Structures are given as C-alpha cells and as structure tokens.
Amino acid sequence: MGQASSVFDRSKPKWCPGCGNFVVYSCLKDALEELGYRPEEIVVVCGIGCATFIWSYLNTNSLKALHGRVLPAATGVKLVKPSLKVLAVSGDGDAYSIGCGHLTHTARRNIDLTYIVIDNGIFGNTRGQPSPTTPYLSPTKISPRGWPEKPVDPLLLVAVSGATFIAQGYVGNPSSLREIFKKALKHRGFSLVNIVSVCPTFNPKRTITTIKEKILDVGLDSQRDLDEAVKLLLEARKAGRIPVGVIYSRDEPTYNDLLNANSDQKSIVPDLRVLEIALREFGLEIEC
C-alpha cells in the first residue's frame, strides 16, 4: 500500500514514527490514483497542525489556510475554480474547535468538497492538550484527574446541518479507508470523512488495539435515510462504539450547481459580480 513511488509524492513525510497520518496519506494517494486523478486536477487546502502537513508532502496544488479557516478558504477555491477537485484537510482541533462554526455552514451549503479530518483526540502539534474529541473524563496532560468537557460528535453535527455524505474510517483498516476515500471523492457535494487516528507521541494510551475493540462496521453502501443515519449514530454513541464506513449519502444540487442554474433560478443565489470585480483586480477570473 503506497510503498511504490506515486505521481502524488512530493517529499517524504516527516511525522513521528507510528503516527496515524502516514496511513491516511498513503490511502489518500492510492484513492486518488485509483480514481485516475492527475495532480494538477486537485487542490489540497489545509489549516494548522500535524495532520495538515499533508499539503506539503502531496504533489498537488495546495493552499495553506489559517488555523480553523480551512473550509472558508476551500469554499472560495471551489467557487472561483469549480473545475478543481477540492480536498480540505484538518486535525480534530483545527476542524472541531476553532473551525467548528465553519463546519456547519459548509455542510448546509453543500459545497462540493471533501473534508478529511484526522481525529487523534488531542492537539498533537502543540504537544498533547485535549481537543473537542477527547473522551469525557479521560485523564490528559493538563487534567490528570479527567477532562471535564463532553466531546463534540462531528458526524451527528454535520448530519443535522445538511451534509450530503458522512463517513468514518480508522487507521487500523487501510483497505476500508481507501474505499471510503474513493466514495467520498466520487460524491458531488459536501463530504466529511472523519478518521479515528493515533498520536503515539502525545496520546500513547489510544492505540490501534484500543480503537479496534470499539469498531462497528456499518458497510460502504449506505441506503439509510437521514433519520436512520442519526439513529445509528446515537445508538453507536450510547453503546460506546465507533461506526466505520459510509454512514449517509444522498444526491442534492451543490452550491455551484445553483450558481449555474438557469436565469429564473439565478435570483435565489447571491450575485457574484462584486467578487468577480474584486478578483479581477488580482488578475483572477471566476469560472462559474
């Protein structure tokens, strides 16, 4: 898996030994290659954190955004360059803490991009502080007697916000993760792939083995409606299980589709002329 050199290799990743990011990077490259993408067709938008260094290792177009501002930047790219396949990459801190507000709005707008969140349950890059997905009451380096905040459930959050594709993978099953990526990349609209991962350096108690005990395989071909998907997520949470697979998928017009709709429908979407004029100042053209 990902051992041979790939057209998507730019430089050798430099994460800590055993970091889950290696598995994600490798599966993502494989999925892109298997779907026949070329590097110039892809743009990777990243925030700040260890996970986000994917942008510098992957041979694609890339844009480095501020911490937590990945989705507004990725939305901007999709609006002005709809022909590009847009991938956004974050860690759980970047996505669900400082960036959490953007998550719900990008989901409800059905922006056509794939959001990959590498969820290791802590802030790795800043040396192991608790994140929004740190388990309730678990000891952390700054709260040895237990972390008092209940975790965010990103899958439920995007489900009720209007996401049209929701999946979860984990780094202990690369072949499933690769297939999940392929499904998410093929989806038209906002797709979230949350990946339960490990940071052996700052979260050593979470290992592939401790994650594996909780995995609930929900398959890759979801026929669930939204009620059934939410029920599945609530039941899994109650049972302390980690659902892995494609949880929900439906077809719906994307934000770009509505921008390109016929003249009658055009009145329901914002007028982009102001943006067009501003971008022209920088020598850029909108494609929509």
Binding residues (CB under 6 A) for ligand SF4: these are 15-16, 19, 21, 50, 120, 124-125, 199-202
Strands of the chain, DSSP E: 42-46, 61-64, 85-91, 114-119, 122-123, 129-130, 165-170, 191-196, 215-219, 242-249
**Cα 200 from Cα 19, distance rounded (Å):** 6
Which residue is listed with tokens 């990777």?
44
Q: Closest separation between CB of residue 67 and ligand TPP, Å? A: 3
94 binds, among ligand SF4, ligand TPP, none (CB under 5 to 8 A by kind): ligand TPP
Residue 64 or 109 with smaller CB distance to ligand TPP: 64
- Count CB neighbours of 228 within 10 A: 13
201 binds, among ligand TPP, ligand SF4, none (CB under 5 to 8 A by kind): ligand SF4
Query: Closest-CB residue for ligand TPP?
Result: 91
**Cα 276 from Cα 139, distance rounded (Å):** 50
Which residue is listed with tokens 């690769």?
178
154 binds, among ligand SF4, ligand TPP, none (CB under 5 to 8 A by kind): none
Residue 106 or 249 with smaller CB distance to ligand TPP: 106
72 binds, among ligand SF4, ligand TPP, none (CB under 5 to 8 A by kind): none
Residue 203 or 254 with smaller CB distance to ligand SF4: 203
Q: Which two tokens stand for residue 216?
A: 């609930």
**Rama region for 164: left / alpha / beta (φ>0; ψ in -120 to 50; rest):** alpha
92 binds, among ligand SF4, ligand TPP, none (CB under 5 to 8 A by kind): ligand TPP
Residue 199 or 232 with smaller CB distance to ligand TPP: 199
Question: What strands, in cross-sheet order, belong to the sheet with 61-64?
Answer: 61-64, 42-46, 85-91, 114-119, 191-196, 165-170, 242-249, 215-219
Where do contacts with ligand TPP occur on this chain (CB under 6 A)?
Answer: 48-51, 67, 90-94, 118, 120, 123-126, 131
Q: Closest separation between CB of residue 164 and ligand TPP, Å? A: 24
202 binds, among ligand SF4, ligand TPP, none (CB under 5 to 8 A by kind): ligand SF4
Q: Are 163 and 107 in contact (CB under 8 A)?
A: yes
Q: Closest separation between CB of residue 284 and ligand TPP, Å? A: 26
Residue 52 or 176 with smaller CB distance to ligand SF4: 52
The residues with which 170 forms a beta bridge, in sequence order, are 196
Residue 16 or 284 with smaller CB distance to ligand TPP: 16
Q: Closest separation between CB of residue 250 and ligand TPP, Å? A: 28
The residues with which 168 forms a beta bridge, in sequence order, are 194, 245
126 binds, among ligand SF4, ligand TPP, none (CB under 5 to 8 A by kind): ligand TPP
- Count CB neighbours of 283 within 10 A: 6
Q: Closest separation between CB of residue 202 and ligand SF4, Å? A: 5
Sign of the CA dihedral running 95, 64, 113, 181: negative
Residue 49 or 243 with smaller CB distance to ligand TPP: 49
**Cα 254 from Cα 185, distance rounded (Å):** 14
